Amino acid sequence: MRELFKNIFGTKPKQSKDDAKQRLKFLLIHDQVDLTPGQLEQMKAEIMEVIARYVEIEGDHGTEFKLAREDGHVALVSSIPVRRVVERAAS
Amino acid sequence: MSECIVITSGKGGVGKTTTTANLGVALARSGAKVAVVDADIGLRNLDVILGLENRIVYDLVHVIEGECRLKQALIRDKRAEGLYLLPAAQTRDKNAVTPAQMRELVRQMKEEFDFVLMDCPAGIEQGFKNAIAGADRAIIVTTPEVSAIRDADRIIGMVEAAELPEPELIINRVRPRMVASGDMMNKEDILEILAIPLLGLVPDHEDVIVTANRGMPAAFDDESIVGEAYRRIARRVKGEKDVPELVLDHDTSFWATLKRWMGLAPTREVAG
Ligand SMILES: Nc1ncnc2c1ncn2[C@@H]1O[C@H](COP(=O)(O)OP(=O)(O)OP(=O)(O)O)[C@@H](O)[C@H]1O
Ligand SMILES: [Mg+2]
């Protein structure tokens, strides 16, 4: 009966193809970028270190750092909130 | 202008041989001179799908080892003008030939044929390397499943690493009802992930099994929807633009009709 109801009103719970897609995206990123979670963390720490030389950043708070896949290519997508530019001696 | 197209997938059993046979038939029936080559050495199959198994005298390895001439090994399919099969050896293995030998074989075949279709074995090892060695172009076959698409992605990378042009995709074994209910990834989902051009969809259909039983590919049958899917794919392979999409199935069940009538179901059909 519940099935019938769902059918009539076309309201479906989460579709299994969405699971498939989600899992695939994750799989393909990790097939392509063969890094362990530990290596990813280290890369993040090192990149943050370099950025901190130029701008003042919020620290880990509000920082986003992830691998994403678009058009068959993996991209490193990050959003790092900046507080202000670090004062530097005029060159 | 002639070209060699390799039909590959990574994952086994997704429909490479079915596709090679049907595309070969459809291209030949459209007037092209076509050779289909079974590069699955040791696991010969294409001859059976085409119903030509009783006519084999020589095979690909015989040609490469110089035991016979190419012309002697080619089997002419009497049902379609211009269609020929070069069978695989059944009692040898993939290491019986090298990529350089395959390149030379293909070069020779391209002098005779408009299209040389290479049925690639599953996997990414020697058999795959041999099959893509002489290819100008690649078609990737996948099914709408996580494992097949994952392997397809891997193969796309390898095709690009081999400096072939961007491969094109055939999505096989599509079940329109499952796509409509959200239990099977649709072509947009798959194209978003694999990001290569689409040649077409082929429905999951009993015609494939019946035609395999008979050794008479669906592309010979003007009534078959599978045959029609491959005929449209063949037109796209030949470069024809704007080939209309084939509506794979229209759900005519009572509930589907009612839902459509009430505007509750997506009116978009599964087509490709
Ligand atoms: N569209 C389809 N509908 C129904 N059955 C299909 C379809 N496509 C393929 N099959 C079935 O799937 C099986 C595998 O097909 P096929 O031999 O073409 O795959 P393959 O990729 O060549 O396999 P292999 O990797 O072993 O060479 C066959 O039994 C075939 O009948
Ligand atoms: Mg096969």
- Residue B148 domain-assigned? yes
Measure B47 CA to ligand 2 centroid, in angstroms.
11
pLDDT in tens, B101-160: 999 999 999 999 999 999 999 999 999 999 999 999 999 999 999 999 999 999 999 999
Select from B142, B143, B146, B259 the residue whose CB has the most chain A CBs within 10 Å, as the one to mutate to test that interface: B146
> pLDDT: is B201 or A39 the higher one?
B201
- Going from the Cα of B79 to the center of ligand 1, the distance in angstroms, rounded, reads 22
More confident residue, B260 or A58: A58
**Residue B86 in domain:** yes
Cross-chain residue pair A8–B185, CB shorter than 8 Å: no
With the C-alpha atoms ordered B64, B66, B71, B72, is the resulting torsion angle positive or negative? negative
**ipTM given for this complex:** 0.79
Q: Is there a domain that residue B237 lies in?
A: yes
Domains in chain B, number: 1
Question: Which pLDDT score, from 0 to 100, does residue A75 have?
Answer: 83
Interchain contact B166–A (C-beta under 8 A): no
Q: Which amino acid is at B80?
A: A
Decide if B257 is inside a domain.
no
Mean pLDDT to the nearest integer, B183-188: 97
For A13, the closest chain B residue by CA position comes to B182
Chain-chain contact of B183 with A21 (C-beta, under 8 angstroms): no
Q: Which tens digits make up the pLDDT trace of B241-270?
A: 999 999 987 555 667 667 666 666 555 567
- pLDDT score at A52: 86
Query: Does the residue B260 lie in any domain?
Result: no
Best mutation site among B6, B8, B14, B18 for ligand 1, i.e. most ligand atoms within 8 A of its Cβ?
Answer: B18
Within a domain: B13? yes
Cα–chain-centroid distance for residue B11?
14
More confident residue, B223 or B255: B223
Name B135's Cβ contacts closer than 8 Å, sequence gap at least 6. Answer: B4, B5, B6, B106, B118, B164
Burial class (CB in 10 A: 0-12, 13-18, 19+), A2: exposed
Segment holding A13, helix H or strand E? none
Nearest alpha carbon, ligand 1 atom 8:
B15
What does the alpha-carbon distance between residue B268 and residue B212 come to, in Å, rounded to a whole number? 32
Residue contact A69–B149, C-beta within 8 A? no
Considering chain B, what percentage of its residues have pLDDT values greater than 70?
93
Residue B256 forms part of a structural domain: no
CATH of the domain at B218: 3.40.50.300
pTM: 0.86
Domain of B172 in residue numbering reads as: 3-245
Helix extents (H) in chain B: 16-29, 46-49, 60-64, 70-73, 99-110, 126-133, 146-161, 176-180, 187-194, 206-214, 225-237, 254-261
Round to whole Å and give the CA distance between B67 and B195.
44
CA A90 to chain centre: 36
Q: What's the rounded Cα separation, in Å, for the pair A34 and B142? A: 24
Residue B255 lies inside a defined structural domain of this protein: no
Least confident of B34-43, B190-199, B243-252: B243-252
Least confident window among A24-38, A68-82, B86-100: A68-82
* Closest ligand 1 atom number to CA of residue B19: 18
Nearest by CB: A9 against B145, B183, B264: B264
Whether the Cβ atoms of residue B203 and residue B218 lie closer than 8 Å to each other: no
Task: Give the pair of three-digit tokens for residue B253.
Answer: 């069940």
Pocket of ligand 1 (CB under 6 A): B 9, 12-18, 40, 45, 121-122, 172-173, 202, 204-205, 208-209, 212
Does the CB of B263 have a partner CB in chain A at under 8 Å? Answer: no
Q: Three-state SS for B200?
A: strand
Query: Residue A91: its pLDDT value, please?
Result: 46
Alpha helices in B111-247 (DSSP H): 126-133, 146-161, 176-180, 187-194, 206-214, 225-237
Mean pLDDT of chain B: 94
What's the mean pLDDT in B22-33? 98
Scan for tokens 């009993």, then name that residue: B206
